[in-house]
Amino acid sequence: MDFIKEIESGESKTIEFKEKIPSNKSIAKSAISFSNTGGGKLFLGIADQGNIIGLPNDIDIISLEDQIAQLIYDNCSPIISFEIYTVNITEKYILVLEVKRGNSTPYYMKNKGVEHGTYVRIGATNRLANRQKIKELEIMSKNISFDQIVNFEYELEDLDLSSLEKEFNKFDKKLDKSKLENLGLIRENNGEFRPTNGLIIILGKFENCSIKCSKFRGTTMTEFLDKAEYNGDVFNQLDNTIEFIKKHINFGGKIEGLQRKDRFEIPLVAIREAIVNALVHRDYQNLGRDIKVGIYDDVLNIVSPGSLPMSITEKDLLNGRSEIRNKVIARVLKELNYIEIWGSGIKRIYDSCHEYELKEPKIKETGDSVDVELFRVKVSIGKKIVNTKFSYSDYIENFNFSNREKIILRYLDSHDKITSKDVLLMIDVKIRRARAILSEMEDKKILLKRGKTRNTQYIINSDYFSKIVPNSAE
C-alpha cells in the first residue's frame, strides 16, 4: 500500500487527515460518514495540507487503538466494520482508521438517532444527511436502486408507452410485457403488474425529470441570451438538449490535407456521452433539482444532481470504474445502444476532446452534484476572446485579408491597439498611406477607430470576427 501517494493526493471522499487526536465525536462522525458513503481512511498524525507530523513519541499506541475501537462500538449503530493500524512514514508513526463500506445503511450516532445522527461524506467533509439522503441510504441497504422500486402513484394501463415503443422499433425490437418486466420497468405486486420508478422516469412523469438549458453572454451567468426547458421522455430531453447546444456552439470547416471537413467545435460524441451520463447517474429522489446545461463563451457546463456514487472519485472515472445509481434506466439505455460498454463513456469524452485538440475536460464533484466542463476553442484577438472552430491562423489564411491587413492583424493579436506610426514602421509606406490602410479596415468593420487627429488609434472589432465563421450559430 503506497500510503505516501495517498497522502500526497490530499483529502477527498475517501481520505481524511487529523493532525492531533480528535474528540470522540469527531472520530465517530468520520467512521459513520465513510460507512454510509464508500469507505475510507482517517489518518491521525497528518496536517490538513498533507504534512506528515506523526503521533507524539510518548503515546501508548496500543491503548489509543483500543480507545478508538471502543468509542466506535459505543457511539455508532449499526456495527461498523473497520481496522486500526499504524504505519511508519519517514520515521514518523501514523495511525490509520480504515473503515469499510457498510451494507446496513444508514449508520448513525446512537445518542442522536437516525434523523439527527446520520452523516455522509461529501467531497472532503463529513455532512449531516437530510431526510432525502437517509431515504436513499435505506434503499441502498436493500441492494436496490430508486428506479427499481414499485410506483403506486400511476396505473400501468394509464401510461402512454408510445415514445418507448418508438425507440425499440428503431432496432426492430418488440416491447411486450415480458420485455418490460425483464428490463425492470414493471414489477408484479400482489398479483398485478405495476410500473417502477424507472418507467416513470423514462416517460418523464416526475416533476424533476427535466433539463434546463441556458446560453449566457461571456463567461458568467450575468446575462441570458437564450434558455429552454425540456421535459417529457428521456429520449426527447436528450435530443432537444443536443439540438439546443448545437444551435449555440460554432460549426465550421477545417482544412485537413486537401479536404475541408465540417464539424462542431466540441465533438458531438462528448456532448452526447455527458448528457447520457447525467440522465443515467443523476439523483432522481431529490424532486427539487434537475439537470442544468450552461453554454458560456469558454465552456459547455453540465450539472447533474447527486454526488458520485459511493467511493468513486474523479480519478476512478478516468480508469473506467462504473457504479450505476439508476439500474433500470441504465439497462434500458444500454438495450437501445445509448450506452455501448459499461464504464467507457468518460473515456470517449476525453478521447474525442483530445482528438479535437481541446483543453482536457473537467469532471468534478461539487458538493452534492457532478459538474462536467467541456471546453470550447478560444482565440485571443486584440485581448478579446472570440469563440470559433478555427485557430487564429485559420482566420488569417482562410479569409480574404490582404497581405498588409494580415500584418496588422498579427500585430493586434499581441497588442491592444495600433496607430498609423506603427503601420509605417511595419510596412514600407508613407504615413498618409498608413492612415488610408487603417481607415479602409475601419470601413470594412475589421477595426474600430478610437480618438481623433494625432491621438487616433485602432482596435480589433471582435463582432466582425464572431460573424465571419461559416455556418456559425453565434
Q: Show me where the domains of the chain are located.
A: 3-140, 211-376, 388-467
In this prediction, residue 384 carries a pLDDT of 47
Categorize the per-residue pLDDT at 393 as very low, low, confident or very high, splitting at 50, 70 and 90: very low
Mean pLDDT of 76-97: 92
Q: How confident is the model at residue 391 (pLDDT cuts 50, 70, 90)?
A: very low
How many H helices and E strands in the chain? 18, 22
Contact 107/80 with Cβ under 8 angstroms? yes
Quick check: 263 and 469 in contact, CB under 8 A? no
312 vs 417: CA distance, rounded Å: 50
Q: Tell me what pLDDT residue 288 has.
A: 79
What are the CA-CA distances from residue 294 to residues 273, 371, 432 (Å)?
Answer: 16, 11, 49
What dotted CATH number matches 3-140? 3.30.950.30
Average pLDDT over residues 30-48: 93
pLDDT(101) > 80? yes
pLDDT tens track for 233-285:
999 999 999 999 999 998 865 555 545 567 889 999 999 999 999 999 999 98
Q: What is the mean pLDDT of residues 385-389?
A: 47
Rounded to the nearest 5 percent, the helix, strand and coil shares of the chain are 35, 25, 40
Average pLDDT over residues 159-186: 94
**Residue 212: band (very low, low, confident or very high) from pLDDT cuts 50, 70, 90:** very high
Give the CATH fold of the 211-376 domain: Heat Shock Protein 90 (3.30.565)
Average pLDDT over every residue of 125-151: 89
Query: Running DSSP on this structure, what letter comes out for residue 308?
Result: P
User: Residue 19's Cα: distance from chain center in Å?
Assistant: 32
In this predicted structure, the answer to whether residue 447 has a pLDDT above a threshold of 80 is: yes
Q: What is the DSSP letter of 46?
A: B
pLDDT given for residue 299 in this prediction = 95
The pLDDT tens digits of the residues spanning 414-444 come to 677 899 988 888 887 888 899 999 999 999 8
The mean predicted confidence, pLDDT, of the chain is 86
- 300: which strand partners? 295, 374
Instruction: Answer whether 346's CB lies under 8 Å from 320's CB.
Output: yes
pLDDT for 401 equals: 80
Fold (CATH) for 388-467: Arc Repressor Mutant, subunit A (1.10.10)
Is the confidence at residue 471, as pLDDT, over 50?
Answer: no
Instruction: Read off the DSSP letter of residue 412.
Output: H
Q: Give yes or no for residue 34 having a pLDDT over 90.
A: yes
Range scoring the smallest mean pLDDT among 174-178, 227-231, 441-445, 450-454: 450-454
375: pLDDT strictly greater than 90: yes
- The whole-number pLDDT of residue 260 equals 55
Average pLDDT over residues 383-403: 55
Residue 32's pLDDT is 97
> What distance in Å separates the CA atoms of residue 354 and residue 366, rounded to the nearest whole number?
24
Q: Which of 153, 133, 164, 238 is nearest to 197 (CA)?
A: 153
Question: Which of 143-147, 363-367, 393-397 bottoms out in mean pLDDT, i.e. has the lowest?
Answer: 393-397
Question: Is it the case that residue 45 has pLDDT exceeding 90?
Answer: yes
SS3 readout for 111-164:
CCHHHHHEEEEECCEEEECCHHHHHHHHHHCCCCCHHHCECCCCCHHHCCCHHH
Give yes or no for a contact between 178 and 171, defined as CB atoms under 8 angstroms apart. Answer: no
pLDDT given at position 269? 94
- Contact between 212 and 218 under an 8 Å Cβ cutoff? The reply is no
